[in-house]
A and B are shown apart, each in its own frame.
Chain A
């Protein structure tokens, strides 16, 4: 099968390209001629001047502090999300000022949900339900509709699964953090390590992101900052090996919990998803057992978040979502779709760059922050 595609690709490319290249090439220079117009001659470094490019690695960020043992009061989800108010609440206010629920009101409500990244399918489903209840005379007036929507959202996010993270079982408990690039996995692990340590557990970090440049250094700084141990591998090494070593080390030293970082990967990259499956298999080998596979999701993510969740769920059995960067202007409404479609609960919420800015998800507050 594959050979056929290779053959066809070559044949087609030959044909298309051959036809074009065969035509006498005219005015070739024109296409890139424009860019050079304002150009001056390239100046190379004069031979005598050695570029003074810093050789030693600069200390990055705050110098490694003493491990901070105290965990400050966790920020209020509503306070932090308060910054994100405006848009959604603006619509709701406009809606409430109407006496009846007309078409324009429905359009406003739809737009509010869409702008919060809830998605077309989920929005349509939510609104259809409300509409039929209005028709049935069950809901009267805009206030009642908004209240009902709020309750629907709250109920759909508030699951029996809860937001708790599992420590159960004998041996070494492993939590695996997965997600696409740049969602905040490493930072989240640093914060989780701090929380768990404060809760009296002995935590070991596994620097399983062996791909991104300086990812292990980043996690190492978090380890120093929170005063927990870390297992690192070689850059470009096998992440499964790092996780395996971490589980062995945790077993030998009696650590309760291994937090395993993984390299960001797009869910569409087959090889990388296979690599992730292997990491999970290795981590699940006794004495280790994977209790949580947490999908880290950036609150700015749009409809692609649902696809990500579905693919990672299929591949490595995600147990919950960590919604990061909710202190920005993004609403993170895609978690509503993820919860509805896949039944995956949000377990933790990231509200900033501080070490304590990670709190358990609370459906009441999340929805209240959207509406108030």
Chain B
């Protein structure tokens, strides 16, 4: 998500970062390119103009920081401006003192309201709430049916009746009060902002249920019209926020930037996939880092803090830093990392991972299971000392894991190369802040010790680390991996083939995550 925009900005800013001195012409040229990048990302024309003006003011007006080169200051200015425009705060829902908390979803046709309703219901359930879905889209054929099916998947009841949208919404509210559901989510029909009759109808739906939160659902692929639409819905319904859908495509999501700026309401939630679970609160501050290709380490860290076994993680990091990382360690870390979800998704959150890697990394759980199977087919001693592995041991492992000797060889070779890569000073220091004394590690440590608000402190130190260190994106790890992949590490795809045979073997016990959703369709 937002990758294309970040690629563009990274390219522009990458050239500036290394400059020691910037002429006015350099700045003008960079700003013109930034404007083009923003427009190609569907940022509203007016918003792009004010964004660029804001960046210019920061670059020109701000006192020169001694620790940053002029190029880096432009990068920082862009980052700060993006944070400002995206709207720093993450939505904090306040539940109504007299339940239910009523939430109304509105938007254009096809923006994803019905699916979002179900995702939101699932999200509330995870927060320990008891939502009720109301299907007030009586316009589109089978919309209520769709909501019923999705509601069932989310484990949330659905209320609807074939009357009219206003009556359904009001009856839904009474129903929620009667059975004691504490969150009411009203799905409405898609409508055009210029359709006065339908806008009037949604206004009446709104006054029938007096929603505590009204969200506009917007497709991330929307172009310049997003702002006009948002403004019209805001005028009619007094929006509290926006839910951005279909962010999993390659749309650049400029609508996100623009809507906040124009209607002054933040992006509250974002939907990043077709599974009901692919939905969460939107963190605008982190998105700015992500747009600039600095990764989203905070999200990664939060996930990890929730899911990781503390001791195992510490142990792994220590051994890694000391260069004693074995296949055994790898296996135990893999178990941890798997808790975070798909590896592909994980990569996209990491700073400095080159774009080609993210795109090519269509890592599915089957391939992970295969790697596991191979390692599990080794004896503990072999895992510690891969040098022991002669031809006959390798063929035993291949048989044991349902793979081929080639695939075993490939894994061993690549593990060795990865080990070497990790040992090389450029790699580690690159990752930890562009060779500048491990600034990222420093930043992370600061975050932990900083008495301020954890999230903000983390971002500040992270951005300082990332920017100050010459940028994680262009830094050591990116370069390192890029070179590696360019020289080519063995035949691609060799290990990628699914081996049904491995299912029966030891490693096959590790079942891929059941929530695979669409993978099997």
Measuring CB to CB, which residues of chain A are less than 8 angstroms from any residue of chain B? 1-28, 30-31, 34-35, 37-40, 42-46, 49, 51-54, 57-61, 83-84, 87, 111, 114-117, 119-121, 180-184, 210-215, 217-218, 220-222, 236, 266-268, 270-272, 275, 298-305, 307-308, 325, 327-331, 333-334, 353
Contacts and interface: CB of A to CB of B under 8 A. Distances in A.
Contact of A182 (B110, B223, B225, B251): B110
Nearest to A328: B192
Given A13-B346, A31-B455, A43-B180, A298 B110 contact: yes
Given A27-B454, A60-B144, A329-B225, 10 more contacts: A3-B371, A14-B313, A15-B428, A40-B97, A268-B248, A300-B222, A300-B229, A303-B252, A328-B194, A330-B224
Interface in B192-238: 192-194, 219, 221-226, 228-229, 232
Contacts of A215: 142, 146
Contact of A14 (B310, B337, B343, B361): B337
A40 B316 contact: no
Interface stretch (B13-21, B69-77, B487-495): B487-495
B146 A214 contact: yes
Nearest to B304: A17
B490 to A, nearest CB: 7
Given A3-B371, A17-B313, A328-B192, A60 B225 contact: no
Contacts of A111: 45
A22 B160 contact: no
User: When A and B form their complex, which 10 residue pairs have the shortest distance between CB atoms, in order from nearest?
Assistant: A18-B317, A302-B223, A182-B110, A302-B42, A213-B149, A214-B146, A330-B225, A1-B492, A217-B142, A214-B145
Contacts of B248: 266, 268
Given A15-B431, A20-B301, A61-B139, A7 B418 contact: yes
Nearest to B520: A236
A218 B252 contact: no
Given A11-B320, A35-B94, A303-B252, A218 B140 contact: yes
Contacts, number: 368
Interface string B169-208: 0000001001111100000000011100000000000000
A49 B145 contact: no
A345 to B, nearest CB: 20
B330 A11 contact: yes
A118 B108 CA distance: 21
A26 B458 CA distance: 13
Contacts of A119: 39-40
A114 B128 CA distance: 45
**What's the interface size class on B, roughly?**
35 or more
B221 A305 contact: yes
B219 A23 contact: no
B142 A60 contact: yes
Interface centre among B142, B314, B428, by most chain A C-beta atoms within 10 angstroms, is B142
Nearest to A24: B448
Interface of A is mostly: loop
B263 interface: no
B157 A51 contact: yes
Given A4-B489, A58-B161, A181 B112 contact: yes
B368 interface: yes
A35 B92 contact: yes
Interface stretch (B381-389, B394-402, B408-416, B502-510): B408-416
Contact of A268 (B42, B129, B250, B428): B250
A44 B180 CA distance: 6
A298 B496 CA distance: 37
Nearest to B438: A19
A333 B225 CA distance: 11
Nearest to B193: A329
Interface centre among A182, A212, A325 (most CB of B within 10 A): A182
29 contacts: A1-B489, A4-B414, A6-B368, A9-B346, A15-B431, A18-B314, A18-B315, A20-B304, A22-B317, A23-B444, A25-B448, A40-B99, A42-B130, A53-B157, A57-B144, A61-B138, A114-B45, A117-B224, A181-B112, A183-B110, A211-B274, A213-B145, A214-B142, A218-B142, A267-B250, A302-B221, A303-B40, A328-B108, A328-B192
Contact of A329 (B139, B229, B353, B418): B229
B158 interface: yes
B219 A182 contact: yes
Contact of A23 (B175, B363, B431, B448): B448
B379 to A, nearest CB: 20
Contacts of B415: 3, 7
Interface in B286-324: 297, 300-302, 304-305, 308, 310, 313-318, 320-321
Contacts of B59: none
B518 A211 contact: yes
A6 B357 CA distance: 11
B518 A3 contact: no
Contacts of B455: 31
